[in-house]
Structure 1
Amino acid sequence: MAHGKTEKCEQDCYKGGTVLFMYLTGLGIRYWLMFSRYQSIIANHIEISTPLNSWKRVSEGLCLQSKGINPYEGDLLHEAPITILFYKVLTQWWKLDIKTIFLAFDAGTAVVLYFVAKKYMFHLFIEQEENKKQYALNSKEFLLSGSDFVNSPVFVASAFLFNPYTIFNCVGQSTVVFHNFFIALFLFCMLSGSVILSVLSLAICTMMSFYPIVLIIPLFLYSNGIYKSKFRAILTPILFIATLAAFITISIGLSNGTAFMKNVYGFILTVPDLQPNIGLFWYFFTEMFDHFRDLFISSFQINATVLYLIPLSVKFRKDPFLLTFAILCLISVFKSYPCLGDVGFVLSLLPCFIHLFNYSQQGFLVGVIFLITTALGPILWHLWIYSNSANANFYFGVTLAFAIAQIFLVTDILFAYLKREFCLNHGKERKIDGKDALLILE
């Protein structure tokens, strides 16, 4: 018995040492790149830096503010006043080194995501134990095993630490680093059942980039599942609205007016800056006639927010975390100013669904498209802007393929979830009422 305990302690120590080494290696790569000559090249790339997340703009805004000039009078700053105060506390009041700040928040995101995966796998284990009696007799091979519960959190942390998209996002000093940290904190608080902290984290994310406001639906569904009371669950969106209103009120007080609303949320929704990025907006509205602009802006923004929200929420209401993943993936595709940091964060969550990989069909295709488009993007940008041997169509073709890969990914994961649910309920045989069944994602 004592020998068994000793062996388990040795395994835990080995695992802990492996995880620590993984974190140190991931941070070491970021540290080396931050202090190398490649840092400025990465920071200036349009795949990393956008008008919404550029640290250079934040630095200039803080400088203007220190001289008594309103940074929202021009078209420079697109960060909310409350987040500018947050950056001011970190850099000017506490006098922390900028590179250290980005490294610390990126490391914090990796740590939080590790515990997010642990919480989610624990919930899956509880759900599996509660529903075992309802599953088909020959569905044992479809159940989660002990290795899935143990390995998934480690894979999530490593997927974040060694993902080139998140590495470049940190090295390029994109403020999406802070956004990802609070999104990860929101996921952890939601899975922990802490409504107040999850509402607070979500409100901060909404102040930063607006689009996370739609995540209140998964939070409501999760709260409803915890409390088993719609009355108590409906207090969650009410609390969120109150918190968001309080943050907006504070921002109005900090900026001495509502001018920031146009520069931050008006900028996100109306897309006045058509600088190329990895999204879909810039090319369409460069080619668009002005009298069609309002119609298509509305169509694109509806597509990025509420169009898929209701059907997905109805279909996947039993798994709010999967619903949250799907929404985050769609936001990273359809938001007006996306960057690689948004995509990297979503990809880091994939190992949470390690139990669905056996049912997915598009993994190889998606991986190849990601690899090719990631390599071709900077090349075609250089050919277009610097060599004058290509044009906007070449670069947009790459970004369009990149978006298609993300759509293939999320639909494949959602369909895999449905296939696994079918297998658990009906066993190996794909038959309903004695006839061969065909699974269709609707």
Structure 2
Amino acid sequence: MNSFEFRKKIHSKYIITLIFSLGFFIRIILLRNKNLVSLLSNRVEIATAVTSYKRLKEGLFLYEHGISPYSGGLFHQAPLLLVLFSIIKLISNSETLVSLLFALTDIFSAWSLLDLSDSMFSKNSSSNLWKKYISVSLFLFNPYSIISCVGMSTAIFTNCFILTSLSYVQRRKSIQSIFFLALATYLSFYPVVLFPPLILILQKNDLKKKDSISKNIILFLIELSLLLLLSFIITNSWDFLSATYGAILFVSDLTPNIGLWWYFFTEIFDSFRLFFIFVFQLHIFVYIIPLCIRLRKYPFFIIIILCGLMSILKSYPSIADVVLFMSLFPFLHSIYSYMRHIFVTTICFLYCTFLGPAFYYLWTYIGSGNANFFYSITLVWNFNLSIIITDIVFAILKMEMEIERPDMKGIDVIQVNY
């Protein structure tokens, strides 16, 4: 290593340390403001029925007093979270350690992103070095990421496990990658959709592909089963299955959120409820096979697309799900030039960010609006996300066409109507 490369490496470490330190201290300072934490933890855009820290505290209170945390129908989170927070409470009864846990979880997520960037970008290029800085900065200084952390949404743990899984999968470490995906699936169920593209990445350089697939499937099922068994040992009951995954699958809590489900199932007749639950749940899984077939050469792009679909189609989405989707945007750098709606979708995010809370305030506090006000802006929000996903798919296909057909480079693709 020559002196120039050495200086560049030292300079890089200083910048990374500065980015991480700023991201950490911003979160810690904001988490010390109890009024702000209380305000954000009550926001429907941040805290849902399955990610609310206030509901977690309610479940923890029942658990510590020997009562089933799932008996009241209010708590819908995984039992291992109860154990984690009860240990923290034993160490210190103040909220300082809890705040530290949430801040460090985001820092660990950013570290996984940095690790992922090291695997995805060349280490020798100075431009790629800046891409690494940007990928970490876009996560740590993303306002949605900061308020998800300060609002103490437990969805950030799921995001952390998913990003850690992706950082391991790019290094072909199947056991660690599948373990962290199993943890994410255990916490919020829907990350299971990322398993097929994860397998595509793992089997890329594996000569015994069939053996590799079956081995990884068995490993995933064993790890998930062990987590469920551990949960049974903790609660001494299987009630947590219906209270957690049952609530996610059957949408038992219709508290408003930024998703598409709550308003629909509030208005629908009970006789049609089961049918539409099946249709809605199927909708998130139906894209997996077509994407894995058509875009099998680009499994990481499939993961990004599925993260976007999760942020739209899961039963209890929050802005933390959009944070996960956005955190992977830097890895789309090879298709940016093919994307057509970047400016419009960015403006739409700003539009929804300001109007969403305003419409909710008009509905629930002033009473001059109704549920349609808030639901209409969530429709715009989700429509915008769907436009981004469509744009990504178009850009991938356009890039693929130009690689396979260089003579088509620069020629616009148009749809022919018959």
TM-score by length of 2: 0.93
Q: Which residue of 2 aligns with 1:247?
A: 227
Residue 317 of structure 1 deviates from its aligned partner by 1.3
Aligned counterparts of 2:232 and 2:11: Cα–Cα separation in 1: 52
Matched, 1:315 2:309: no
Contact residue 401 and residue 408 of structure 2 kept, 8 A: no
Match of 2:44 among 9, 27, 46: 46
| Aligned pair partner of 1:27 in 15, 24, 27 | 24
Which residue of structure 2 aligns with residue 120 of structure 1?
Answer: 120
- Asked whether the equivalents of residues 430 and 438 of structure 1 are also in contact (C-alpha less than 8 Å), the reply is no
**Shift in alpha-carbon separation, 1:437–1:401, aligned structure 2, 3 A:** closer
Q: CA deviation at 1:182?
A: 0.7
Return the match for 1:83 from 69, 81, 84: 81
Matched, 1:226 2:205: yes
Q: Which has the higher contact order (CA 8 A, sep 6+)?
A: 1
Give the CA deviation at 1:82.
Answer: 2.7
Contact 1:55 1:174 in 2 (8 A): yes
Paired position in structure 2 for 1:135: none
Long gaps (5+) in structure 1: 126-144
* 1:229-308 correspondence runs (5 A): 229=208, 230-304=210-284, 306-308=285-287
Q: CA deviation at 1:439?
A: 6.6
Equivalent-residue separation in structure 2 for 1:186 and 1:165 (angstroms): 22
* Residue in 1 that maps onto 2:61: 63
* 8 Å Cα contact 1:377-1:398 kept in structure 2: yes
SS at match of 2:366: coil
Question: Residues of 2 paired with 1:207 and 1:430: CA distance?
Answer: 45
1:349 CA drift (Å): 0.9
Equivalents in 1 of 2:131, 2:386: separation in Å? 23
Residues of 2 paired with 1:293 and 1:204: CA distance? Answer: 30
Structure 2: any 5+ residue segments left out of the alignment? none
Q: C-alpha offsets along residues 106-165 of structure 1, whole Å, 9 cap, x if unaligned? A: 11111111111221235xx9xxxxxxxxxxxxxxxxxxx945532322211111001111
Closer, same or farther: CA 53–365 of 1 in aligned 2, 3 Å:
same
1:369-408 maps to which residues of 2 (within 5 A)? Answer: 369-408=348-387
SS at match of 1:225: coil
In structure 1, the partner of 2:71 is 73
What is residue 408 of structure 2 aligned with on the other side? 429
2:417 maps to 1:438:
no
Aligned length: 412
Letter in 2 for 1:104: L
CA distance 1:156–1:430, shift in 2 (3 Å): closer
Q: Deviations over 1:317-349 (max 9, x none)?
A: 122211111111101111011111110121011
**How far is 1:6 from its partner?**
2.8
- Alpha-carbon separation, structure 2, partners of 1:55 and 1:391: 27
- Whether 1:410 aligns to 2:389 is yes
Q: Which residues of 2 match residues 312-351 of structure 1 at below 5 A?
A: 312-351=291-330
Find the aligned partners of 2:5 and 2:173 in 1 and give their Cα distance: 32
Change (3 A) 1:203 1:420: same
The offset of 1:424, in angstroms, is 2.2
Question: 1:430: Cα distance to partner?
Answer: 4.4
In 1, Cα distance between the equivalents of 2:354 and 2:229?
A: 44
Contact 1:227-1:233 at 8 Å conserved across structures: no
Distance 1:7 1:166, change over 3 A: same
Alignment partner of 1:92 out of 74, 90, 93: 90
Percent same amino acid at aligned positions? 34
TM-score (ref. length: structure 1): 0.88
